[in-house]
Chains A and B, each alone.
Chain A
Amino acid sequence: MNFPLVARLVAVLCLFIGISMAFPLAVSLHFDEAPGPLLWSLVITCVAGGAVWMWTRDVEDTHLSHRDGVTVVALGWATAGLAATLPYLFAGVVPTFTDAYFESVSGFTTTGASILTQVEGLPRGLLLWRAQTQWLGGMGIIVLSVAILPFLGVGGMQLYKAETPSPVVDKLTPRIADTAAALWKVYIFLTFLEVFLLVAGDMSVYDAVCHAFTTLPTGGFSTRNASVGAYGSAYIEYVIVLFMFLAGVSFSLHYRLATGNWRAFLGDPELRVYFWITVVLVLLVTADVAWSVYGGIGEAFRRALFQVVSVMTTTGYATADFNKWPVFSQLILFFCMFFGCMAGSTGGGLKIMRLILLARHAYLEIFRIIHPHATTVVKFGSQPVPQAIMRSVWGFFLLYLAIFVLAAAALTALGLDMVSALTAAATALGNVGPGLGSVGPMENFAAVPAAGKWILIVCMLLGRLEIYTILVLFMPAFWRK
């Protein structure tokens, strides 16, 4: 393990996070708020990062092995979470370190579960920082550093693979730094577009930026207590639905579209399944809530569309209190937390691609009972899927469910009721945000005991970094020479 290099890269990340605090700091100065918390956080983070950077400046061996890459990503995320707690702690808006860390990890992992009971009235600079952690975490802080630090070379690929939420990693351009930069460009462009459209719908620029910062990473932090529902504007909701859906599409596909490759975009098998699952689930929920909760199709469709897309893309905004919906709709939303969106998007969950592969594989097993001598190949589109990928997908599926079960069990042991514990574990692991019951869309996570918060923090990190990257750190063999 190349520890000096690992330390150096984590230091760079720390510096990035520090420097990125300048934006909320500027905003808080603009609104005449006390700059202290953000300013001190910025200084401390930059000094800490800078010190390690200087201390490791003599690193000669710049070879980054696969293991080093995994370590950098895991450590980098833990460190970023730590740095992001500083503004909350200095501003004195959260009571304990556990709460601050929960909030900041929930930010970076784009979960959007919050322990803040009152967000309205908090300093605007701080709320922007909260949104910005999601924005940075969505496309990936490591991917960003890969784009900016060209010296990483092939090491960049190791980091990129460890952070990108997808079973297969697309390299769009010959050089990995260009790929990372291309993805960030698409991301930034979509963010600007959403800000523009929201402002056009009479949202204030500040609110528009905060919401765009949390829509595109499928994060879900809002600046209102009642989330997006607080605006009561159909236009704003539909714009946000559109961008949540787009954020759930693989960014490699967005890039292909941007480079004029319409056919690759429309012909993508995963996109089609993603689209149709969304359509079917929206219709089912609409039908279920139309007369039982709302007095007609129109309102029901608007709420159901927003909620299904929000949960399925693992964003977690709310325009309706689905705690009061019929059980069938609640169950659909609960399942949505597991589906997630497309591989290579900013969303969480199991990912549609994995579900497709698992379904095909299962189908072929049944098929082989009918034709025992058949030669079968799992295909994705027209491409055969290598055995190694199938193995990793099965392993992922199994681990995902195992972690969900263990976390939910632990939460009930800590005193949560069954519905709350199950949905809290699913929502944290899937990086969604709200659950049901005591952690429902109009509630929050403040009441969960401290040990439960730490369980959820681990779940969020496992979900965002797709399990393997974190779990491998706990294998003794990983640390052996």
Chain B
Amino acid sequence: MRIIIVGAGEVGYHIAKKLSEEDQDVVVIDRDPAKIRRINENLDVQTFLGSGTSPRMLRDAGIEEAELLVAATDSDEANLVACLLARHLNRYVVKVARVKNQEFVREEDLFKKDLLGIDLIINTRAMMVETVLRLMEVPGASEVIDFVGGKVKLVSFLITPESPLAGKALSEIRCLGGNFLVGAIVRGHRILIPGGRDTIQPRDLVYFVSRAGELAEALGALQGGVLEMKNVMIIGAGDTGMAIAKALDERRLPVKLIDQDRTRCKEAATGLDRVVVIRGDGTDRELLREENAGDMDLLISVTGDEESNVLISLLGKDLGAKKTITRVSKLSYMPVVSALGLDTVINPRMTAVREILHYIRKGRIISVAPLREEQAEAMEAEALETSDIVNVPLSKVRFPRGAIVGAVIRGEEIIIPRGSTVIRPRDRLIIFASQKVIPQLEKLLTVKLEYFG
């Protein structure tokens, strides 16, 4: 399948990386020679130096034979124009555009149906707000991903040295009660797909699946108590900070919003009702102490500066904040953030990449969530009658090492599998797998990663 990606920024780069690793024919267009060089050095894709809003460039890139166009530049207008041209040059191409302007997002139908026929609009800001809210519903989690329309949740959380799980073998964890299954462990740079004998260590990021209804119970068992999200501090009143503050304001939660910029503070104070707006430097320890950062249940750092966000969260933790959410856009920092002790990191680009991949893969493998650094995936797949995995107990199935079934969904029922569980045809499975074994897994499931159904 030929895929054209306009914009070789972080989002474009990672989508290109992911898709080229899956043997798709990827073409990337960007105006910046440095970005093009970076792609050429690291990825097996074809590159064109030029503007994605040039019809000639799109033709050179093979838009006529392309099946998918992803417009992921930093400019909304460029993305929309690229989609417009693409629609004209190839009526059947599927178009995905990244759009930031809230105005555009609100008029979604205009761009989707009436004007441009864009198939998917990605708005990272809205997605981030949603992520933060979802994380607050599942206190303690670092990441929450929905499967089967939200009936099953994939949750990750960071193991602190005090956690009752630290040092325990996976086989012991079952005795703690709670109906869940640990599917993957991120330890530093590596992703383990664990077996019963592996132990959990402090600073691990643990991924598990659970039924939506039993999530609180499972988390309680895992963390030795349920956290409550009451007091929230947001640092950075940019677009994201404001959007989060607004959402929390509507829920009547006590929120403090800190920003350095006078006009932004003023705007925030005008636009929000209950939120306490404070003007000051978020990296100032005294200010944080004065505003009782230590008593906060949640501290959200979403300033425009990556490095400051990390430091603010660390400061907050040091002062005693129970939980932090940190925005980090640079994907190269991702492997070290858990090691630093930051529990939750939200990454707008990663979110965008995930959303796009999720959208374009609509075969038997229904949804896919790349986990940290994309070395492993959680995927939802249907068990086919022809496959070797059905009608035998799971313990007898010859699963590749590095893959594990996290949940079985049969109609309305959600089963957290054990060795004796038998998979029946048409069951839906949630499988954790490291990238390497995905081809073997596809063979076992007798499916191929398919696109667009």
Instruction: Report which A residues bind B (CB closer than 8 A).
Output: 66, 150, 153-154, 156-157, 171, 173-178, 386
Contact = CB atoms under 8 A, between A and B. Distances in A.
A154 B43 contact: yes
Contacts of B25: 173-175, 178
Given A153-B21, A154-B42, A157-B40, A171 B47 contact: yes
Contacts of B47: 171
B52 to A, nearest CB: 16
Contacts of B21: 153
Specify which of A153, A174, A386 lies most central, judged by the most chain B CB atoms within 10 Å of its CB. A174
A292 B109 CA distance: 84
Contact of B45 (A150, A174, A386): A174
- Chain B: interface residue count, which band? 10 to 19
Interface string B44-65: 1111000000000000000000
Contacts of B24: 174
A171 B33 contact: no
A176 B33 contact: no
Interface in B1-47: 2, 20-21, 23-27, 33, 40-47
B344 to A, nearest CB: 30
A380 to B, nearest CB: 14
Given A173-B25, A174-B26, A175-B25, A153 B46 contact: no
A77 B188 CA distance: 39
A386 B40 CA distance: 16
16 contacts: A150-B23, A153-B21, A154-B41, A157-B44, A171-B47, A173-B25, A173-B46, A174-B2, A174-B24, A174-B26, A174-B44, A174-B45, A175-B23, A176-B44, A177-B44, A386-B33
Given A154-B41, A157-B44, A175-B46, 12 more contacts: A66-B41, A150-B23, A153-B20, A156-B44, A171-B46, A171-B47, A174-B25, A174-B26, A174-B27, A174-B45, A175-B25, A175-B45
Interface of B: 2, 20-21, 23-27, 33, 40-47
A156 B24 CA distance: 16
Contacts of B44: 153-154, 156-157, 174-177
Nearest to A157: B44
Contacts of A176: 44
Nearest to A60: B436
Contacts of A386: 33
Nearest to B42: A154
A154 B43 CA distance: 5
A67 B2 CA distance: 31
Contacts of B26: 174
Contact of A175 (B20, B40, B41, B42): B20
A154 B20 CA distance: 10
A150 B44 CA distance: 11
A174 B46 contact: yes
B402 to A, nearest CB: 12
Contacts of A173: 25, 46
A66 B41 CA distance: 8
Contacts of A154: 41-44
A90 to B, nearest CB: 40
Contacts of A153: 20-21, 44
A268 to B, nearest CB: 16
A66 to B, nearest CB: 8
A58 to B, nearest CB: 13
A276 B45 CA distance: 36
Contacts of A174: 2, 20, 24-27, 44-46
B18 to A, nearest CB: 13
A177 to B, nearest CB: 8
B103 to A, nearest CB: 35
